Amino acid sequence: MLDQLALPVESDAPEAADVEPTPPSRDPDRLPAALHPYFGTSYRALKWRWMAPGVHIIRASGTRTLLLLRIAPGKSMPVHSHGRNELTQILQGSYTDALGLFSPGDVADLDSDVEHQPVTAPGVACICVSALDAPLRFPGWLARKLQPLFDL
């Protein structure tokens, strides 16, 4: 008769409801799916164009306003403001500016009232995708002279 009684068994294992699902592992070489039509699927396959020491750029095919930037660790961009709006999302690495720290997943939504100088963190290159409504504005004479070469 005791064989037929179902007694609860004590266990240290969490119940199914208590277990959080493990997110699928992310391929570090794969660009976010939303960028595939513009830049492809793989970071390794990107054909970066040199812009300045430690700074490389790729423009989305068919547009001048959507671009990827790769900025080496510890580099600073020139001080600049924006002709109209700039929307930038950090994909890898991070940078700081007068507005704070921007890390992977963060978005900087900037307009013509913001003047800043992004400085990338040490350790890993900062890769970000930016959409621009109008060319950047540089207060420094050298950056203004070089601006037509890079069409920023």
Q: Which residue has the higher pLDDT, 61 or 49?
A: 49
The mean pLDDT of 57-65, rounded to a whole number, is 81
The model carries a pTM of 0.70
Q: Which helix (H) or strand (E) holds 144?
A: helix 141-150
Mean pLDDT score of the chain, rounded to an integer?
76
Q: Which residue has the higher pLDDT, 24 or 2?
A: 24
Q: What is the pLDDT of residue 71?
A: 92
Q: In angstroms, how far is CA 106 from the centroid of its own chain?
A: 7
Q: Hey, what domains does the chain have and what are their CATH numbers? A: 31-150 (2.60.120.10)
Q: Name the percent of the chain lying above pLDDT 90.
A: 34
User: Token digits for 67?
Assistant: 């671009």
Q: Does position 5 have pLDDT exceeding 70, yes or no? A: no
Cα–Cα distances in angstroms (integers) from residue 73 to residues 9, 27, 58, 122, 125, in the given order: 55, 22, 18, 5, 5
User: Token digits for 63?
Assistant: 């547009």
Cα–Cα distances in angstroms (integers) from residue 83 to residues 3, 96, 99, in the given order: 80, 21, 18
Q: What's the pLDDT tens digit per position in 75-121?
A: 987 766 666 678 889 999 999 988 899 999 999 888 767 777 888 99
Q: Which residue has the higher pLDDT, 60 or 116?
A: 60
Residue 106 DSSP symbol: -
Cα separation, 63 vs 19, whole angstroms? 45
